[in-house]
Structure 1
Amino acid sequence: MMRARTGLRRARITGGVWLFAAVAALAATAAILLAMGRVPICECGYVKFWEGAVDGPGNSQHIADWYTFSHIIHGFLFFGATWWLSRRWPMGFSARLFLATLVEAGWEILENSPLIIDRYREATIAQGYTGDSVLNSICDILAMALGFALAARLPVWLTVVLTLAMEIGVLLVIRDNLTLNVLMLVWPSDAIRAWQGGG
């Protein structure tokens, strides 16, 4: 009995260490983005919880916007991917969340590099895109963590339904979503770009 309690205590400590590492990764990401010249918050000088204008200067500058749903879906996908990995290399929830946080943080850093910013402007309808604020990038990573936590608790079928609902809903509202975003970055289509632009 004592040995079981000790093992449980060690598991909690390990979980706590992984969560601390995830928070440290967030802080390091913010520091890297600031060093890259990203603005801390919207240049408008204030912070909004929601920014609904996709083609306005506040997009990707505040806490949440239409692309937040894509980051929640990232969390769903990363949960599934790390679940599959943990079958080969056993790791707990916190270690998997840390791994997902590193991947998402890496994407946020890459997304705000000149390479990807220029790619967005050339290949997608986001011709005025200049990158995310640091606040928005950190909130995107937290949105991924929310999706990861939801996927851990929800049945698989409900996670799939939520993914479809978010993808279809965002597509209907702004003519963009995670699927189109990836497609247009990797394999741009003039027909899709014209449709997204209202043509």
Structure 2
Amino acid sequence: MARLNRRWWPWAAIIGILAAVAGAEYALGRVPICTCGYVSLWHGDVWSSGNSQHMMDWYTLSHLAHGFVFYAVLRWLLPGVSVPWRAVVAMLLEGGWEVLENTALIIDRYREVTASLDYYGDSIINSFGDGVAMLVGFFLAARLPVLASILIVIGMELLAAWVIRDNLALNIVMLVWPLEAVREWQVQGMPSTR
């Protein structure tokens, strides 16, 4: 068998990281797919049990934003490293977050301080989709002008805040320094049937 061309090594590393994340999440007891028994490409109801269980949902925008942010930070921190190898570092960061996010510590924190009372963690397929979304954001940032990247991230944050009353910035705030006013605003967006 021919040796793998070195330009493919970063891609092999990314695939390996995605596989390791899936294995770690499986070991944590995460389900491979939604317990509903099927996988949708998109699931838009953040208040249902299918949220964070399918390939993509409204929180995919946060993972796209991760990619833009990771690209900017790693371009600054690792200027001499090629874009594909910086993508490997970004995938390590994203994968680390996906595993941490699906531990009891973070799941319980979400349930304690946010409006996500019914959140029980991501399915493995959803975490895979989050990793792919981060890569899309990362490589878009690598090709777009800085201003376009900034405007896209701001646009995604505003769209998510408008549609689901949550986004990456609010997620960080609520995990680190929960604000009751934000939680109340998020709860106001819940369907009245709850």
Partner of 1:25: 17
Q: How many residues align?
A: 186
Partner of 1:64: 56
Quick one: which amino acid aligns to residue 70 of structure 1?
S
Residues 6-43 of structure 1: per-residue CA shift (max 9 Å, x gap): xxxxxx94431122111111111111111111000000
Structure showing greater radius of gyration is 1
What is the TM-score of this pair, normalised by structure 1?
0.91
Which residue of 90, 94, 110 maps to 1:100? 90
Q: What's the C-alpha RMSD, in Å, of the aligned pairs?
A: 1.2
Partner of 1:153: 143
Partner of 1:171: 161
Identity %: 50
Conservation of the 8 A alpha-carbon contact between 1:15 and 1:95: no
Residues 161-198 of structure 1: per-residue CA shift (max 9 Å, x gap): 11111100110111111110100000001111011110
Distance 1:85 1:137 in 2: 26
Distance 1:79 1:51 in 2: 27
Q: Any gaps of 5 or more consecutive residues in structure 1?
A: 1-11
Partner-residue secondary structure (3-state), 1:65: coil
What is the TM-score of this pair, normalised by structure 2?
0.93
1:128 aligns with 2:114: no
Partner of 1:79: 71
Distance 1:65 1:16 in 2: 30
Partner of 2:42: 50
Runs of 4+ with >2 A deviation? 12-15
